[in-house]
Amino acid sequence: MNPPVPILLLKTPSTPRDVYADHFAPPAHDARFVPVLEHCWQDANIREVEELLLAGAFGGATAGGDGRRHGGLVFTSQRAVEAFVRVLDGAQSKRPDTPLVPPSVPLYVVGPATQRALASSPHIQAASIHGAHTGNGDALAAFIVAHYPSLPSAGSPPLSLLFLVGQQRRPVIPSTLRGAGIGVDEVVVYDAALLPSFAAGLATALAALPREPAPWIIVFSPTGCRELLSVLDRLGPDPEPRRRARIATIGPTTRDFLLSTLGVAPDVCAATPSPEGVGEGIRGFLERHG
């Protein structure tokens, strides 16, 4: 039997279970997490979201939906989803007889991971979640422009969308939607910063791996890419190419950052931002290069 392929996942494991750990499980893989970011919740803004829910901003708390301000929500990160699910569950406990986010309200997500995280709430119906197939912000924005105005619940002209974001984000979704006449209100619900211990943790994780087979490093965002390359440079080139660490990104945003900013091309860019997409990319690489 071949030895397991080492997989370093540059992320904090999701709870209660992590789909990447499930996918890259023994005996074929040896997956290990190397946390990159530390997150800080923006409590005042999260309370603002709770107030919107309780005030019927999505049509769920006032008779006839008279308090509606937003026709849907947009999510592009699991942290934003975590904040929303927590605040929705808490707000819903105060109004147990009225769905604060009715099934007619579209919830737009950028990929399967955010879809799964959102569907974990018992107060959200899976049929309300759209966009998991898009895979990146550009594609999600184009999908919303085509999909949202056609919904009867959007109104005419369409009500604005509420976009829950981190402090650092790309402007592509708001600018695309506003250019199409769809209003967007952004609320920052968390901030993220590079863990001071990331580089040391990555170096320790790499040093603990066996010489063969070559490890795969799965990169989830541009944050930490400079430190990743610095650690790999310090380790030095391996005379055996088959033992070199290989890099896979979960989508084009991180791939483009590596290419345009750092001048490094990853070995794999997943076609879809999911464990399956990453796994298929790695298998394809190994079939071509061994």
Query: What is the per-residue pLDDT across 43-100, written as a single tens digit (0 to 9) for each?
Result: 999 999 999 999 999 986 544 446 789 999 999 998 999 999 999 999 999 999 889 9
Token match 């999911």: residue? 274
Give the per-residue pLDDT at 62.
47
Give the per-residue pLDDT at 243.
56
Give the per-residue pLDDT at 273.
86
At residue 246, φ and ψ (nearest 5 deg) are: -110, 150
Which residues partner with 10 through β-bridges? Answer: 219
Residue 215 Cα to chain centre, angstroms = 23
Give the per-residue pLDDT at 63.
40
> Distance (Å, rounded) from C-alpha 256 to C-alpha 258?
5
> Distance (Å, rounded) from C-alpha 127 to C-alpha 116?
12
Q: Model confidence at 290, in pLDDT bands (50, 70, 90)?
A: low
Asked if pLDDT for residue 238 goes beyond 90, the answer is: no
Asked if pLDDT for residue 198 goes beyond 60, the answer is: yes
Give the per-residue pLDDT at 236.
67
More confident residue, 290 or 161: 161
Give me the mean pLDDT over the 127-142 stretch.
Answer: 94
Asked if pLDDT for residue 240 goes beyond 60, the answer is: no
Q: Model confidence at 211, in pLDDT bands (50, 70, 90)?
A: confident
Give the per-residue pLDDT at 17.
80
Element (H, E) at 89: helix 78-94
Task: Give the mean pLDDT of the chain.
Answer: 91
Asked if pLDDT for residue 197 goes beyond 90, the answer is: yes
Query: What is the per-residue pLDDT across 137-173, written as a single tens digit (0 to 9) for each?
Result: 999 999 999 999 999 989 889 999 999 999 888 899 9
> Distance (Å, rounded) from C-alpha 278 to C-alpha 247?
11
Give the per-residue pLDDT at 61.
54
More confident residue, 232 or 65: 232
Asked if pLDDT for residue 112 goes beyond 50, the answer is: yes
